[in-house]
Chains A and B, each alone.
Chain A
Amino acid sequence: MLDQPLIKLILVVAIVGVTVMLNRSTAGARHEAVRRLMLVAFVALALVAVLFPPFLTSVAQVVGVGRGADLLLYGLTVTFLGYVAASYRRLRQMEHRLTVLAREVALQHPSTRQDDSERG
């Protein structure tokens, strides 16, 4: 439980962060900017990892993970969780908008028996 405390701390914080994201209200432009900055950082890290594999391994060792590949896997897991959380939220929002729209359409066209007989 208490071996490799650093990486465990980092990963647990990341997972908790994702969970919080799931329940937080959407911020607008700031949220968007943070996402883009994270994407840039991700690309930079990916490049470094590809061009200088030993660098990744040394980072891994700093946080207490043996190999760079392991660190990559951990990172990927957390990133994927984040992706799932974000798309879940987006879907929920979209579903709500769709519901409001469908409801408006429905309320504009209430029909009764007379409507059927008029149509023949």
Chain B
Amino acid sequence: MTVSPTSDDAVLIIPVFNEAAVIAQVVRAGLAACTRVVCVDDGSTDRSAVLARQAGATVVRHPFNLGQGAALQTGMQYALEATDAEYLITFDADGQHQVADAVAMARHAREHDLAIVFGSRFLDDRTRPGWLRRLLLKSAVWLTNQQTGMRLSDAHNGLRVIRRDAARRVDLRQNRMAHATEIVLQLGRTRLPWQEYPVHVLYTDYSRAKGQPLMNAVNVLVDSILK
């Protein structure tokens, strides 16, 4: 990885569920760029929590598995209460996001006085999802835009920069994957300035294996309609 400027006023929030294989590497990369990394261990049954701590992260641990949405909410709450970071960066644990992107997004937010910066893998052609994943993601984008009234080019992208004042107004109640729509909806309602920023999502065999299977799309759809 290239040497990137660090972001002292940002905290990286990483929901973790059984990611022992990659978490230490992700945390170390994160610490190289942000002063603080908070891992929310969502009831992992492997050594994720210990490995994250040893790599230098602060670990907040759910007593049992609640889901990624719940983990994000816990992480944001922790960052708001226990740190004075101005920017909260949500980041996936499976290594598909680039720390350099996160730093660039935080800088972009600072320079343009933005409260929210959504990472989007569809603004340039660096990210190469397969056709099925692309179809699924594009459907999710369309649906999210319908439900939230926002006009985003990507949905269910876990890389976001959220300024403290915007994060305070987020209260995720969708514990599982439908939170990705809910967070867009709630952030949109803050009426604070936002932008999308091109990011590179790296699909490794590991992240593919951990990714959402097709049938999960049905659950997301039902969850986001039946509140």
- Interface residues of chain A, those whose CB is within 8 Å of chain B, are 22-23, 88, 95-96, 98-99, 102-103, 105-107, 109-113, 115-116
Contact = CB atoms under 8 A, between A and B. Distances in A.
Interface stretch (B72-80, B87-95, B143-151, B196-204): B72-80
Nearest to B227: A23
B131 interface: no
B54 A106 contact: no
B33 interface: no
Interface stretch (B6-14, B62-70, B159-167, B181-189): B62-70
B116 interface: no
Contacts of B64: 102
22 contacts: A22-B226, A23-B227, A88-B226, A103-B70, A103-B74, A105-B63, A106-B40, A106-B60, A106-B61, A106-B63, A107-B60, A107-B74, A107-B77, A109-B61, A110-B58, A110-B82, A111-B58, A112-B53, A112-B57, A113-B56, A115-B53, A116-B53
Interface residues of B: mostly helix, strand, loop or mixed? mixed
B54 A116 contact: yes
A112 B66 CA distance: 22
B60 A113 contact: no
B127 to A, nearest CB: 32
B56 A106 contact: no
Nearest to A111: B59
Nearest to B73: A103
Given A103-B77, A112-B58, A113-B54, 6 more contacts: A23-B227, A88-B226, A96-B173, A111-B59, A112-B53, A112-B57
Nearest to A101: B63
Contacts of A98: 66
Contact of A102 (B54, B66, B82): B66
A98 B77 CA distance: 16
B148 to A, nearest CB: 18
A101 to B, nearest CB: 9
Contacts of B78: 107, 110
